[in-house]
Structure 1
Amino acid sequence: MNKLKVILPIFLIIVAVVAVTLFVKFKKVPHRKRVRYEGPLVSVEVAHRVKKPIEIIGFGTVKPEHTLDLVPQVSGKVMTISPNFIDGGFVKKGEVLVQIERADFEIALKRAEAALLAKDVNYKKALKQAHIAKKEWEDILGVLESKNVVPNALTLYLPQLKAAKSAYDAAVADVRLAKLNLERTTLKAPYDARVLRRLTDLGQFVSKGKVLGTLFSTDVADVVVPLHPQDVAWLKVPAQAVVVSTLRGKAIRYPARLVRTEGQIDPKSRMLHAVVQVKQPYKFTPPLENGDFVTARIKGKEGEGVWISAKAERDGKVWIARDGKLRVRKVQVLYRKKETVFVTGLEDGDAVITTSLFAVTDGMKIRVRKATKK
């Protein structure tokens, strides 16, 4: 019994070793397939050549073409004010905005006209007296033996005539000034305008040169748009444009026109300012408000090339997918936007790679995911 207890474990160990050895010896080893590397997977977009104007986009603030301080040229008491002459009010060209008391100036005009009448009488008397003096001298000269005697100015009444003429001219000027001052008591709008602010009221005494209010024109609105050097290269003046406002929570487009550029490049920003105009900005519904910050889209010169994603352009080079291989193509960037670039050097239908790769060689194998139209 004791012998069996010793032999049985040893037997079991031998059987286990033999079984493991046989299993390993006769186990089938799976056949390993060799995997063929076909290159990285890339995304592409199909290039399409176009020939159309470049759209230049800039930003600026709407401002009036003309701004005017309403300033009286005479002093006096404000007698009437137009009901439209209020902050935000609209006034028409020629509309009376402020009327200053006329009484003093009407009196001044009558006095000037009376003085002119007196000076006119004196001048006519002097003319008659000069005519008589000349006739008398001719009579005297007729009886003199010598015909070479020259009369002095007093004899011909010339100084008196000159003084009377000067007094008459001064009186004419006084009447003209009196009329002008009387007209200046009426302050009118020089053009269709909107009132920015009013600084006077009924019954107030206003002095010559005091600002009574500020107006700005409403026939044209200006948008001054700073442009980068690349934009200037594609700019043509004049040109069609569109001004887009988002003041009311949605994009509202207003027809506009590029009319000019300012006289010099800004020395600090190195940008050129272009002036885009919108005619009759308050005729639209809703109107284009003064002070609104807007986007200006300007129709530039015509260009021919391909628009591609900005990420596809790599320092003047583009990767093209062709026949399962990557090809490096040199391009020239004509115009650059935030997310796209306009280039030459590509053919219509080229598959432009947009995927970023770590290491690239011309002719390397690639796999194309799917082409998208651009």
Structure 2
Amino acid sequence: MKTERKEILKRTLLIFPVLIAVIGVGAMVRSRKGPEKLPLKETARQVRVITTRATDVVPRAIGYGYVEPGQVWQVVPEVSGKIIEVSPNFKKGSFVKKGDVLVRIDPNTYRLTVRQTEASVGNIQARLTELNRKEKNYQSSLEIEEKLLDLKKKELKRNQRALRSHSISDSTYDQAQMNYQTQLTRAQDIENALRLIPTTRKALEADLEQYRAKLEEARLDLRRTEIIVPFDCRITETSAEIGQYAPAGQSVATADGTATAEINTRIPMGKMAPLLRAVGGKPIRAGSEQTDQLRMDKIKQLFGLKVRVRLKAGSLEADWNADFARGDATIDAQTRTLGMIVVVENPYDQIIVGVRPPLVRNMFCEVEISGRPISQKVVIPRSAFHDGYVYVADSAHRLKRKPVTTDFAQTDFYVVREGLAPDEQLVVSDLIPAIEGMLLAPIEDKALSDRLMAQADGRSDIR
């Protein structure tokens, strides 16, 4: 009996806690309140915005190209000979000045040629002098012979009268006639010699001119034995030494001029159009009175073009002011770009050690060409333009989608033609998804706005 009581007691003790738990859970369920119903509330999406502003836009185009010297001198001897002397600066990388003697070729052969030709000229001049004297002598002799001929003629006439009166013999008359003919022949010989003198003189004068030309050529060849530097330049290559024979027409060195550096940059036609669209607000049309202004030497002033050349090489950044020189005559068939040649004047005078190096051949540079400002245009960042539309926040901070037409694009922004006015809140955040009418919490991005204005009006670089 005691054992049964113990078992009953154990079971009772096990069931009692379970009953208490069930009663407690039931009480909690009955006392539980239903879910609290809250009113619906729209969450605003936080976005960055800028306030659109109108500004004078400076159209700019960026291109790239390699530096070439404005002048290149191929040092080519015009006469052959052995090199007997070179300038101390006849070395790659050295600078030489205009008028310096760079190379001297052995002049002895050319001096001898000059002397020989001078002797030939002197010989012909002496022969001309002799001919002039001979002409004077012939003229004097002719006067004498003509007087003697007149006397012989009078004597012959007297003998003719005497012969008719039988005062002289036939042989005496024949002798008088022979004397007359002899004197006539002598006078005619002198006249013939005088007639030949002008022809002889012309021949000698022609020979004199020929030898004078040879003398001038010989003297020119003698001067050519000294190769003179034609302009300030820098030696870029040498291929001759003292004692080496230099044949005429074969290059012995190359030098680049230091006065100017040129960059031939390629720019897409679409980028150049905003720079060249108008003069004084009026387009230039073919056949107008202004067509003659399109000469290359006036384009810079006509369109107000300004050029800046930049070099970026690692941590080194340098820039130069440049001038628009000319445009290429053709369009590149593959890239459809227009070649623009710009010039930097006196690049070696602008060297700043460690800051601005000289512009040398094959240096790769960026070229920025800017035109006259276009008055009061709204600009927007490229990231805010979505296939012909932009997003703005209206006065109720709701997202609105607006169609926009652009005029032209620069590297980081578009210039708006129509569809967007100043003082609108332009959304510059990338909204995904962008649902028209959604509530926005706009935050003004002043840094982006200031950077955009600085790029548009030309106060900062465009990239």
Q: TM-score range by the shorter chain?
A: 0.7 to 0.9
Tell me the CA shift for residue 275 of structure 1. Answer: 1.5
Partner of 2:321: 255
Partner of 2:87: 82
Out of 375, 381, 404, the position equivalent to 1:309 is 381
Task: Single out whichever of 102-111 and 10-19 deviates more from structure 2.
Answer: 10-19
CA contact (8 A) 1:44 1:368 kept: no
Identity of aligned residues (%): 24
Out of 383, 392, 399, the position equivalent to 1:326 is 399
The structure whose residues are more often helix, as a share, is 2
Out of 359, 363, 368, the position equivalent to 1:292 is 363
Tell me the CA shift for residue 69 of structure 1. Answer: 1.0
Structure 2 residue 314 is the aligned partner of structure 1 residue 242: no
Q: Secondary structure at the match of 2:230?
A: coil
Aligned partners of 1:127, 1:234: CA distance in 2, in Å? 80
Q: Secondary structure at the match of 1:167?
A: helix
With over 3 angstroms needed to count, the CA separation of the structure-2 counterparts of 1:288 and 1:333, relative to structure 1, is: farther
Q: Secondary structure at the match of 2:99?
A: coil
Paired letter, 1:265 = I
Structure 2 residue 328 is the aligned partner of structure 1 residue 266: no
Q: Secondary structure at the match of 2:91?
A: coil
- Structure of larger gyration radius: 2
How many equivalent pairs are there? 356
Partner of 1:204: 244
Q: Secondary structure at the match of 1:343?
A: strand
Out of 342, 346, 355, the position equivalent to 1:276 is 342
Structure 2 residue 207 is the aligned partner of structure 1 residue 167: yes
CA contact (8 A) 2:69 2:260 kept: yes
Q: Secondary structure at the match of 1:201?
A: coil
CA contact (8 A) 2:399 2:440 kept: no
Aligned partners of 1:212, 1:8: CA distance in 2, in Å? 121
Paired letter, 1:352 = L
Paired letter, 2:440 = R
The Cα RMSD (Å) is 3.0
With over 3 angstroms needed to count, the CA separation of the structure-2 counterparts of 1:351 and 1:111, relative to structure 1, is: same
Tell me the CA shift for residue 154 of structure 1. Answer: 10
Structure 2 residue 431 is the aligned partner of structure 1 residue 357: yes
Q: Which runs of 5+ in 1 are unaligned?
A: 140-152
Tell me the CA shift for residue 301 of structure 1. Answer: 3.2
Paired letter, 1:357 = L
Tell me the CA shift for residue 95 of structure 1. Answer: 0.9
Tell me the CA shift for residue 356 of structure 1. Answer: 2.6
Tell me the CA shift for residue 328 of structure 1. Answer: 2.1
Aligned partners of 2:258, 2:240: CA distance in 1, in Å? 22
CA contact (8 A) 1:307 1:341 kept: yes
Tell me the CA shift for residue 43 of structure 1. Answer: 2.0
CA contact (8 A) 2:75 2:253 kept: yes
Out of 348, 366, 369, the position equivalent to 2:439 is 366
Aligned partners of 1:127, 1:230: CA distance in 2, in Å? 80
Deviation track 1:183-241 (CA, whole Å, cap 9, x = no partner) reads 11010111010000121111222111121100110001111211122221133542322
Out of 94, 109, 112, the position equivalent to 1:104 is 109
Q: Which runs of 5+ in 2 are unaligned?
A: 147-191, 277-298, 450-463
Paired letter, 2:371 = G
| TM-score between the two structures when normalised by the length of structure 2 | 0.69
With over 3 angstroms needed to count, the CA separation of the structure-2 counterparts of 1:248 and 1:318, relative to structure 1, is: closer
Spell out the pairing of 1:8-47 with structure 2 (5 A cutoff): 17=22, 19-38=24-43, 40-47=45-52
Deviation track 1:89-126 (CA, whole Å, cap 9, x = no partner) reads 11111111011111111111111111112223444566
Tell me the CA shift for residue 307 of structure 1. Answer: 3.2
| TM-score between the two structures when normalised by the length of structure 1 | 0.84
